[in-house]
Structure 1
Amino acid sequence: MQFENTLQFAQKLDAADKLKKYRDEFHFPKVNGKQVIYFTGNSLGLQPKRTQKFVDDVMADWANLAVEGHFYAEKPWWDYHERLAAPLAKVVGAKTEEVSVMNTLSVNLHLLLVSFYRPTKTRFKILCEEKAFPSDQYMLKSQVRFHGLDPEETIVEVKKRAGEHHWRTEDILAKIKEIGSELALVLIGGVNYYNGQVFDMKTITAAGQKAGAFVGWDLAHGVGNIALNLNEWNVDFAAWCSYKYMNSGPGHASGIYVNEKYLNDPDIPRFEGWWGTKKETRFLMKPEFEPMETADAWQISNAPILSVAPYLASLELFEKVGMDALIEKRDKIVAYLEFILHEIDAEVDSTFEIITPKDRGCQLSVFLHGQGRSLFDFLMKNGVITDWREPNVIRLAPAPFYCSYEDMYQFGQLLKKGILENLN
């Protein structure tokens, strides 16, 4: 398609958008009395309007039923989380039994590493990407120290080549081969938070497993954003938060994936708790743990219902729309945003460098050569909610559920105005 940097063209794209009605399903903040242009769904998704009823229903059941809400609410609390497994499995490309919802992301990664990081004297090294998200770095280092190992000797980072902004798959594969029989675990962010790169998860998973390692993925920026086929790729495990592209609310419940080959195994190392034991015998208070035959076996405590309810509300929308339709719009709106950026760059004779490679999802990370934090501040004050990352990058994530093509055009006009004001 031949794009145009005009309001009329953007409105024409919106008129033809099959998902345009879903924009009205979300609450938008306002700045200066006007609805914002929202680019930070990669940090915190907007609130679906239907969320309020799901939360209100739980509060009403608590008020009217108290403890009996566990069994007699319309959606009983004791199995509330199970309602999320089937729709989530579609989003991540898994079997229903391989998916569960519990805790938060870093907590779940720690719990999963009890099962999937089991270092020996000869096989103990962990492979991750250079400058992984800080929480992942902290998590990995503390796991290594817990096992009495030195992070400097144990954690191997795959670096980007000098002068490049993204990783090359061949470099990751070469590093896996180099570490060889010492490699115990590969754990990488499936979509990099900083540059928006989507890693070749299928190829990397196969290579890591061929070397004898477990392979897991932090999918915080992937779930609800890109096509995933975790079961088909034979991924060992994965975890993700729900508050970015999944729109569940700040800090809300995380999802996990555990490959079916590890399910219903009473001998796998795992931290265990009451809610992971079989439902059929849970209230018999038996002294021995009998694992659920699903990923629910990794649960420790009962689900935080007020955290899970908004997730279920959002998944209703994903069920209605489907990932194929979301990805189709994502590709088009991101391409239009990229076009707008290049057009504005040419008009103001500035220098933008898009550091996100073509293997991408919803995010474009833009290095603002010659521009500083003042441009970001201008955008924020004028109703563009975006994200600043040092040293000089703004991250733009036009989530297809609620961003419009007119948003992309209007952003371009504000960006041009901000640059010209800075130059003057």
Structure 2
Amino acid sequence: MHFENTLKFARSLDAADALAKYRDEFHFPQVNGRQVIYFTGNSLGLQPKRTHDYIDEVMADWADLAVEGHFHAKRPWWDYHERLAAPMAKIVGAKTEEVCAMNTLTVNLHLLMVTFYRPTDKRYKIICEEKAFPSDQYMLQSQVRHHGLDPDDAIVEVRKRKGEHHWRTEDVLRAIEETGDQLALVLIGGVNYYNGQVFDMPAITKAGREVGAQVGWDLAHAAGNIELRLHDWDVDFAAWCSYKYMNSGPGNASGIFVHERHLNKKGINRFEGWWGTQKETRFLMKPEFEPPASADAWQLSNPPVLSLAPYLASLQMFDEVGMDALIEKRKSIVAYLEYILGEIDKETSGSFEIITPKDRGCQLSVFLHGQGKPLFDYLMEHGVIVDWREPNVIRLAPAPFYCSYEDMYRFGQILKQGIREQAKAR
């Protein structure tokens, strides 16, 4: 499509957008009495308006039924998490029995590592990306130390090439091949939080499994953003948060994926708790753990219903729209944002550089040349909510559920004015 950097053109794209009506389904903050341009769905998604109804329902059942709400609420609490499984499975490309909503992201990664990182004297190394998100770095280092190993020896970081802003798939595959039969686990963020790059998950998973390693993915920035086919790609395990692109609220519940080949195994290494045993016999209080033939076996405690209610509200919106439609708009609106940035860059004599490769999801990361935190502050003061990452990067994530093409145009005009004012100030 031939884009134009005009308000009229942006509005024409919005008029043709089948998802435009969902913008009114969300609450927007305001700055100076006007709705913000919200680019931080990759950190915290906006609140769906229907969330209130789901939470109010739980609160009303708690008030009216107390403990009986576990079995007699409108949506009984004891199996509340099961309602999230089918829509989650569609989003990540899994079978319903392969997913479960529980805990939070790093907690779930630790629990999954109990199962999928079983180092031996020979096979003990972990491959991850250079400068993974700090939670992943801390988690991996502590897991390695827990097994009496040295992180500097056991953790292999795949680095970007000098002078480049993204990883090359061939470098990841080479690291897997070279580590070979010493490799116990590959665990990488499917979409990098800093530059927005989407890793070649099918190729990396295939390579890791071919050398006998387990392969897992941190999908914090991928779930609800890009196409995922975890079952078909033969991924061993994955985990994701729900508060970014899936709009479930700050720090809210996580989801896990465990491939069906690992299910229904009594002897598998796993931390276990009461809520992970079979629901049919759970209240018999039997001393033996009886895992269900699903990822529910990795649950420890009864589901946090007040956390799951907002997640269910958002998942039902995903079910209404479908990932195909969201991905189609995401590709279009990110392409338009990229075009707008290119036009503004021409008008401001090369003030910034997009460091996100073409293998991307919803995010464009922009490296500012000759600009600094004052430009970020200017954007925020003028109603553009963006993300700052050191040393000089702003992250822009136009979530397709609630961002408009007019937002992209208006952002370009504010950015241009901000760059010009910052230049005058210097």
TM-score category by the smaller chain? over 0.9
Letter in 1 for 2:345: D
Could you tell me which residue of structure 2 aligns to residue 160 of structure 1?
A: 160
Q: Offset of 1:349 from its aligned partner?
A: 1.3
Alignment of structure 1 residues 25-424 onto 2, 5 Å: 25-424=25-424
Q: Which amino acid aligns with 1:265?
A: K
- The one-letter amino acid of 1:240's match is W
1:196-237 residue CA offsets vs partner (Å, 9 max, x unmatched): 000000000010011110000000000000000000000000
Structure 1: distance between partners of 2:351 and 2:395: 16
Secondary structure in 2 aligned to 1:230? coil
Deviation at 1:350, TM superposition (A): 3.1
- Does 2:18 correspond to 1:22? no
TM-score, normalization by structure 2: 0.99
Q: Distance in 2 between matches of 1:337 and 1:395?
A: 12
**CA–CA distance in structure 2, aligned partners of residues 172 and 204 of structure 1:** 7
* Distance in structure 2 (CA, Å) of the matches to 1:362 and 1:280: 42
Contact kept, 8 Å, 1:247 with 1:314, in 2: the verdict is yes
- Whether the 8 Å contact between 1:86 and 1:96 is mirrored in structure 2 is yes
Per the TM alignment, residue 326 of structure 1 is displaced from its structure 2 partner at its CA by 0.3
Residue 292 of structure 1 and its aligned partner are, at CA, apart by 1.4
Please say if residues 111 and 271 of structure 1, whose CA atoms lie closer than 8 Å, have aligned partners that are also in contact.
yes
Q: Give the AA of the match of 1:381.
A: E
Q: Distance in 1 between matches of 2:192 and 2:303?
A: 29
Supply the distance in 2 between the matched residues of 1:342 and 1:208 (Cα, whole angstroms). Answer: 38
Give the AA of the match of 1:331: K
Question: What displacement does 1:186 show?
Answer: 0.2
Structure 2 CA distance for aligned equivalents of residues 346 and 203 of structure 1: 37
Structure 1 CA distance, aligned partners of 2:178 and 2:82? 42
Q: Structure 1: where are the runs of 5+ without partners?
A: none
Deviations 1:327-365 (A, max 9, x none): 000000000000000100111213311000000000000
Secondary structure of 1:419's match? helix
Instruction: Give the whole-Å Cα distance in 2 for the aligned partners of 1:354 and 1:420.
Output: 19
Residues in 2 aligned to 1:353 and 1:26: alpha-carbon distance in whole angstroms: 31
Q: Distance in 2 between matches of 1:422 and 1:187?
A: 41
CA contact (8 A) 1:241 1:254 kept: yes
Unaligned runs of 5+ in 2: none
Instruction: Give the AA of the match of 2:155.
Output: I
Amino acid at match of 1:338: E
Which amino acid is the alignment partner of residue 350 of structure 1? G
CA distance in 2, matches of 1:299, 1:72: 22
How many positions carry a matched residue from both structures? Answer: 424
Task: Give the distance between the partners of 2:266 and 2:389, measured in 1 at CA.
Answer: 44
Q: SS at the partner of 1:131?
A: coil
Runs of 4+ with >6 A deviation: none
Moved more, 344-353 or 178-187: 344-353
Partner SS state of residue 279, structure 1: coil
Report the alpha carbon displacement of residue 293 of structure 1 after superposing the two structures with TM.
1.2
- Asked if 2 retains the 8 angstrom alpha-carbon contact of 1:350 and 1:370, the reply is no
SS of the residue corresponding to residue 359 of structure 1 reads coil
